[in-house]
Amino acid sequence: MPYLMRSIDQHTNGWPRGPIAKKPSRLLDSLAGTSVARLALVRETLRQLGIPYVWGGASRHGFDCSGLVLYVYRQFGVPLYHGATMQAHQGSPAYGQLLPGDLVFFGGPGYYHHVGIYIGDGHFVEAPHTGAVVRTRQLSGSGYATARRYPVRNSANHNPWWLYP
């Protein structure tokens, strides 16, 4: 895992934002046993930290919550709709322990108003609201309603070079 740590540090400037900033090694420990594809998805998600919130945004110029999910998953060949409620009705329920890359939804079955990407160790990445940037947040106490799991495969753009010396 030290190579994953080095790669994450390079892309997030040493974890400058959010509650996970103080304990990056705990996140890495929680990723042990995670598939290479899901590790790549977490890495891609963390690369978006600090990008501004833009309502309706789905690019590195700015994201809203479902646009962030759409952008990251598109890099792995997973087509998703732009909208938290529509995304919540895709994929399959994530029963039991969450896996890195699972989506966490806030609201109710008729209308989910927010979505984030679970990254492990009880944290997720979100594009929260106007005036904020993509950040990490602790899942505990956040009031998430449900989680969904989507099949993730390696993309040609995400060779797992960062796992090896």
CATH code for the domain in which residue 147 is found: 3.90.1720.10
Stretch 44-61: mean pLDDT: 96
Phi, psi of 25 (to 5 degrees): -65, -30
CA distance 96 to 79: 25
- Asked if 112 and 88 count as a contact pair (C-beta separation under 8 A), the reply is yes
CA distance 103 to 91: 9
Whether 161 is covered by a domain: the verdict is no
Q: Give the lowest-confidence range in 9-18, 109-118, 140-149.
A: 9-18
Residue numbers of the domain that contains 11: 2-151
Whether 7 is covered by a domain: the verdict is yes
CA distance 50 to 48: 6
Whether the per-residue pLDDT at 154 is higher than 80: the answer is no
Whether the per-residue pLDDT at 16 is higher than 70: the answer is no
- What local confidence, expressed as pLDDT, does residue 61 receive? 96
First to last CA, the chain: 11
Whether 104 is covered by a domain: the verdict is yes
Whether 129 is covered by a domain: the verdict is yes
pLDDT above 70 covers a percentage of the chain that reads 73
Whether 98 is covered by a domain: the verdict is yes
Whether 158 is covered by a domain: the verdict is no
> Which are the catalytic amino acids?
65, 114, 126
Stretch 7-20: mean pLDDT: 44
Give me the amino acid identity at 5.
Answer: M
Please give the tally of structural domains in the chain.
1
Whether 95 is covered by a domain: the verdict is yes
Read out DSSP for the chain? -HHHHHHHHHHHTS--SSGGGG-HHHHHHHTTT--HHHHHHHHHHHTTTTPBB-TT-EETTEE-HHHHHHHHHHTTT----SSHHHHHTSSEE--SS--TT-EEEEEETTEEEEEEEEEETTEEEE--STT-B-EEEESTTS---EEEE------TT--GGGG--
pLDDT above 90 covers a percentage of the chain that reads 58
Whether 159 is covered by a domain: the verdict is no
